A = this chain, B = another copy of it.
């Protein structure tokens, strides 16, 4: 049975709301049944019409949606709520949804502040409900393959990690024009204390910890506002120390003019290194000290159980961003369905980013911004 889905945010013109809907639709595991798509009731209604929802399940506010859906019979009411609003509107809807008995899919960064994140962790724990945080890049089959290989010791002890996230779309003062995406992402009132570091730096941070299986322990950040008039960082570079003593470099920029969105990670251990980048998402390069590098590919028979589980087509049929995003939704659905069936979800299904990753991501934002302002070289990573 499909899980019944409600959505908060994601009205027309919103980029990530549409992505969530495509991702939820792909595998046929969810049915969008309700929505509070905008704080403007009229806009919410219009979006609901476009999406073909029953009019009585399109709401003027998330509070209304949660309240009314809670009244519906258990076999009819929504089971999972996706929250795709700007950062300042994550915590309250998520808290209310969880406390009202709904599972939650939440866009990243998880909350507006670390304090909120820690509070939300308590809510999740108390509610017994599940939360999925959409760190997309961990949904790619070859990213999962990388993690599984590192965990199995294929590279030996990890010594160095480079992770980068270059974008160029904020090279000009876009927030001065009609660009809604730019407007809220550069606005401290809606984004929080970080710009690029929150929007894409958290993705890079998550990817680093996810693939390496290590945690950041110290960091040293150079945080910049490059475009005149901008209120939040649009560029940064960070030196990091990891829990096993290894070091790392993380860069994130939204003023790398001409770059699209090529998230890239390289991990080096005693025996070899690996490289993955989104522009060639179905390839994982494994480089070795004394034998030819290998090209591991999505959909082949030789990849590990996690990569297998997260692919839909045989090798040579490129799976992309929406499939990676859909993997988060799919694994979350499999986990929720297992619970509904009183079963234990597989390790592969349980492998979606959750509240812990969200808390660490918010800690990254606060630590990296603090380090950026500090004259000291190293700032301890505290949660």
| Complexed CA–CA distance, A305 and B258 (Å) | 21
Whether a CB of chain B sits under 8 angstroms from the CB of A217 is: no
Partner of A319, one of B169, B235, B320: B320
Is residue A220 within 8 Å, beta carbon to beta carbon, of the partner chain?
yes
A155 is an interface residue with CB less than 8 A from chain B: yes
The contact string, 1 if C-beta is below 8 Å from chain B, for chain A 195-224, is: 000000000000000000000000010101
* Whole-angstrom CA separation of A118 from B98 in the bound complex: 59
Residue in B269, B273, B294, B301 whose beta carbon sits within 8 Å of that of A259 in the complex: B273
Look across to chain B and name the residue whose beta carbon is closest to the beta carbon of A32. Answer: B28
Binds B, one of A283-291, A343-351, A352-360: A283-291
* Pair B319/A322 contact, Cβ less than 8 Å: yes
Total interface residues on A, CB under 8 Å, equals: 89
A284-324 vs B, CB cutoff 8 Å, 1 = contact: the mask equals 00111111111111011110000000001111111111110
A255 interface hit (Cβ, 8 Å): yes
Indicate if the CB atoms of B297 and A295 lie closer than 8 Å.
Answer: no
Query: What is the CB-to-nearest-CB distance from A23 to chain B, in angstroms, rounded to a whole number?
Result: 9
A224 contacts across to B, CB distance below 8 A = 247
**Are B222 and A26 neighbours in the complex by a CB distance under 8 Å?**
no
Contacts known (A257-B272, A273-B259); A318 close to B318, Cβ less than 8 A = yes
Q: Mark A216-242, 1 if CB is under 8 A from B, else 0.
A: 000010101010000000010101000
With A19-B313, A172-B289 given, name 20 new contacts (CB 8 A): A21-B28, A22-B27, A159-B257, A171-B289, A220-B222, A235-B247, A256-B268, A257-B271, A257-B289, A258-B268, A258-B289, A260-B314, A260-B315, A261-B315, A279-B318, A290-B302, A291-B302, A294-B295, A313-B321, A376-B376
* Interface residues in chain A, defined as those with a beta carbon under 8 Å from any beta carbon in chain B: 1-2, 15, 18-19, 21-22, 25-28, 32, 51-52, 155, 159-160, 162, 164, 166-169, 171-172, 220, 222, 224, 226, 235, 237, 239, 247, 249, 251, 253, 255-262, 266, 268-273, 278-282, 286-297, 299-302, 312-323, 374-378
Closest 8 CB pairs of A and B: A258-B287, A261-B316, A260-B316, A318-B320, A320-B320, A317-B321, A292-B294, A258-B273
